[in-house]
């Protein structure tokens, strides 16, 4: 595809104009890890960021690397938009990921552990145990660990065991004869998942206010007890990461729920993609383990510390040191929207927009509770993607179904890593009498929407709607930023009614009046709106695009943005995670600025603004600008029609464009540069400003 004029005849599909999405995702994780060394972040929150970066990297291997390895194994050489083949890309990923892992352990050992020690928080190594501590830990080992450990000697009758995904294991070198008079060289000890990975010493033996010992250290110290009569020459931690994507051929199954139930146990034993071992393990042990898992040296990660760093997050909640954590806050809750308030009356008067976590999630739960109890409510319809295992949302839907209301729930069973919870809640809803459907085969239902049908005073039926950018999940509503809109707007209500009808009946949807939705109108509409801004710019009319989202990788949208930039449209993008767009390329994306904000809360809002020659349009959406969201999922994109609400959102969006505290600017070379205040400028932290404005 080329642009139309000679001076801008640049091939906009050239691979050089697209950043690889996997490498971009690793760059996002680098920005998360950078928070763990940020001096303005409280110490224990810095530890939490380190753990998050480890969890992110685990998922990256379980899904992204696993997928690339599968493509390579099946002989697929399909190239991405950046023209990289799977083998080449895996090599690049390995180099970057090894550097990230090395940095994670440097941060832990050289920065966080010494600083926590200064605060009376100590992680004791075996060499530091005194006699009292060793005695207490031996008792702990014999009473709490020994009864549940099952050492596995390796011989022809005891082949190498199956290793659970991301479980803690030890390879033990032995010398001597076993109970049957045979030489035994190796054994494997698997630490059950029920065991705590970090053990807090009681006050009578602790040398500091908070004194912890790693489970791995305890097992290592007393591993000899597992092999009486033999000498332990060495004991070394290792961990294996496996492919955790579920495969269900949706065209061949007649019951998606049962098919997924059958696949879930296999997730623990998917194909191996990474081996982690401690750095003091001899090379011959690594070379012994790698073939057991079909891995090579590029898949081996030697780590200077516990192989399961993300388990350190458990100690953060055990430590009651408020000064070492983010200060608490109370989300805003207008009395009319809380328990006892009359939500339907309030929504009938005006649109209500909540900005979580600054605004409480309580009104969303209360909306469903009141719908369940209101005799005028006839029907409730809702989509559920992620809700948590003990959800007040689900409890309200169950109550409504048991009260005899028509309750229809579209449960997306294939929400990655939440499949088991979603299967359980689907069964619970069905047992209560709700109609449960599992979305559309081949298209995940990712839209966040509630429709309540209520009979009003005059006997007419009225639609009350909630639409959101994030999940109906009370816990993540405290740590993710998201918008949620309550409205009784007739046109929007009819649109959501038609979408639900489509999801349940599978019939063709009528033309929607206000709401854009995937996989039908959203992709084309976004490209048309971008193109309209470009035409306005060429005609000398006002033009501007501002968009905020989690990911930006869809090539059609990126090409449209490049063309708009060439036409002179000023484009500001706030993209938290991965992006394939390359800004600031001369003649292509000079007018595009792309930044990422990494702060206390996970930025999750999706907002799209188009100046439209003064007839401004502002949308919130459940969809990122990715191929999967725009073309292969059911998503909604809804307008913020109320002028006051639109002005409020634009002011809040503006804070992210001015942020010089938590923002990173993407450069043309694909690297991010931290934004810092100018010498005479004041630091602007968008999230902190919103906390003060909306909660204090």
Active site residues: 446
Q: Are 477 and 493 in contact (CB under 8 A)?
A: no
Q: Could you give the CA distance from residue 243 to residue 42 in angstroms, rounded to a whole number?
A: 35
Segment (H or E) for 635 = strand 633-639
Show Cβ contacts of residue 452 under 8 Å, excluding neighbours closer than 6 positions.
344, 367, 371, 377, 379, 380, 463, 464, 465
Q: Over the range 509-518, which residues count as b (16 or more CB within 10 Å of their CB) and which as e?
A: beebebbbbb
Q: Are 625 and 549 in contact (CB under 8 A)?
A: yes
For residue 507, the Cα-to-chain-centroid distance in whole angstroms is 33
Q: Are 199 and 213 in contact (CB under 8 A)?
A: yes
Sign of the Cα torsion 606, 610, 614, 617 reads negative
Q: Are 423 and 261 in contact (CB under 8 A)?
A: yes
| Token pair in block for residue 528 | 């048309």
Direct distance between the N- and C-terminal alpha carbons of the chain, in angstroms, rounded to an integer: 51
Q: Could you give the CA distance from residue 72 to residue 407 in angstroms, rounded to a whole number?
A: 46
Q: Could you give the CA distance from residue 425 to residue 497 in angstroms, rounded to a whole number?
A: 23
Q: Could you give the CA distance from residue 130 to residue 114 in angstroms, rounded to a whole number?
A: 20
User: Which residue in 363, 393, 395 sits closest to 472, CA to CA?
Assistant: 393
Q: Could you give the CA distance from residue 293 to residue 190 in angstroms, rounded to a whole number?
A: 16
Q: Could you give the CA distance from residue 114 to residue 128 in angstroms, rounded to a whole number?
A: 14
| Token pair in block for residue 621 | 């959406």
Cα-based distances in Å from 198 to 156, 212, 315, 689: 35, 6, 7, 36
Count of Cβ atoms closer than 10 Å to residue 448 Cβ: 23
Q: Could you give the CA distance from residue 673 to residue 263 in angstroms, rounded to a whole number?
A: 42
Q: Could you give the CA distance from residue 629 to residue 343 in angstroms, rounded to a whole number?
A: 32
Q: Over the range 373-390, which residues count as b (16 or more CB within 10 Å of their CB) and which as e?
A: ebeebebbbbbbbbbbee
Cis-peptide into 92, omega within 30 deg: no
Determine phi and psi for 558, rounding to 5 degrees. -65, -45
| Token pair in block for residue 205 | 């033996």
């Amino acid at each position: 595809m080329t642009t139309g004029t000679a001076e801008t005849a640049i091939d906009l599909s050239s691979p050089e104009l697209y950043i690889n999405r996997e490498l971009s995702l690793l760059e996002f994780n680098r920005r998360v890890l950078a928070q763990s060394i940020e001096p303005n972040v409280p110490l224990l929150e810095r530890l939490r960021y380190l753990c998050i970066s480890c969890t992110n990297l685990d998922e990256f291997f379980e899904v992204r690397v696993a997928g690339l390895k599968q493509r390579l194994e099946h002989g697929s050489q399909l190239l991405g938009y950046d023209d990289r083949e799977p083998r080449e890309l895996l090599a690049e990923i390995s180099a970057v990921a090894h550097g990230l892992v090395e940095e994670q352990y440097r941060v832990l050992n050289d920065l966080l552990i010494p600083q926590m020690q200064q605060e009376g928080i100590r992680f004791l190594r075996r060499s530091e145990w005194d006699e009292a501590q060793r005695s207490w830990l031996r008792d702990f080992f014999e009473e709490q660990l020994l009864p549940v450990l099952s050492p596995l000697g390796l011989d022809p009758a005891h082949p190498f065991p199956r290793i659970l995904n991301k479980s803690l294991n030890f390879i033990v070198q032995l010398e001597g004869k076993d109970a049957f008079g045979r030489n035994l060289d190796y054994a494997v000890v698997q630490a059950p998942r029920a065991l705590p990975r970090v053990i807090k010493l009681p006050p009578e033996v602790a040398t500091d206010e908070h004194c912890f010992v790693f489970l791995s250290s305890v097992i290592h110290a007393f591993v000899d007890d597992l092999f009486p009569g033999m000498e332990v020459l060495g004991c070394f931690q290792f961990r294996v990461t496996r492919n955790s994507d579920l495969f269900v051929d949706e065209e061949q199954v007649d019951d998606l729920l049962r098919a997924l139930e059958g696949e879930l146990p296999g997730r623990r034993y998917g194909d191996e993609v990474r081996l982690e071992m401690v750095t003091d393990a001899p090379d011959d042990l690594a070379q012994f383990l790698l073939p057991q898992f079909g891995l090579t040296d590029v898949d081996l990660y030697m780590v200077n510390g516990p192989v399961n760093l993300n388990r350190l997050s458990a100690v953060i909640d055990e430590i009651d040191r408020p000064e070492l954590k983010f200060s608490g806050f109370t989300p805003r809750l207008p009395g009319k929207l809380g328990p006892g308030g009359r939500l339907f009356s309030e929504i009938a008067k005006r649109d209500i927009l909540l900005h979580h976590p600054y605004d409480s999630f309580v009104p969303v739960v209360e909306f469903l509770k009141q719908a369940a109890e209101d005799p005028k409510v006839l029907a409730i319809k809702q989509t559920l993607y992620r809700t948590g295992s003990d959800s007040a949302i689900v409890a309200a839907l169950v109550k409504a179904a048991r009260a005899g209301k028509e309750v229809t729930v579209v449960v997306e069973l294939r929400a990655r890593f939440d499949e088991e919870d979603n299967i359980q809640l689907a069964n619970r809803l069905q047992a209560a009498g709700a109609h449960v459907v599992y979305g559309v085969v081949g298209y995940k239902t990712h839209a966040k929407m509630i429709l309540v049908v209520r009979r009003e005073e005059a006997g007419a039926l009225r639609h009350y709607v909630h639409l959101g950018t994030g999940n109906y999940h009370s816990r993540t509503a405290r740590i993710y930023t998201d918008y949620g809109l309550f409205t009784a707007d007739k046109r929007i209500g009819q649109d959501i009614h038609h979408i639900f009808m489509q999801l349940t009946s599978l019939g063709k949807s009528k033309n929607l009046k206000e709401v854009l939705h995937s996989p039908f109108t959203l992709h084309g509409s976004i490209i048309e709106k971008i193109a309209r801004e470009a035409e306005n710019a060429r005609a000398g009319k006002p033009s501007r695009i501002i968009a905020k989202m989690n990911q930006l990788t869809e090539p059609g949208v990126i090409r449209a943005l490049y063309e708009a930039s060439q036409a002179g449209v000023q484009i500001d993008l706030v993209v938290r995670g991965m992006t394939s767009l390359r800004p600031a390329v001369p003649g292509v994306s000079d007018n595009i600025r792309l930044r990422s904000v990494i702060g206390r809360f996970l930025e999750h809002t999706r907002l799209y603004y188009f100046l439209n020659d003064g007839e401004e349009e502002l949308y919130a959406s459940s969809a990122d600008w990715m191929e999967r969201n725009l073309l292969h999922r059911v998503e909604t994109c809804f307008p913020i029609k109320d002028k006051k609400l639109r002005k409020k959102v634009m002011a809040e969006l503006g804070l992210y464009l001015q942020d010089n505290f938590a923002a990173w600017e993407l450069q043309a070379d694909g690297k991010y540069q931290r934004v810092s205040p100018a010498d005479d400028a004041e630091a602007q932290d968008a999230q902190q400003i919103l906390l003060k404005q909306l909660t204090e």
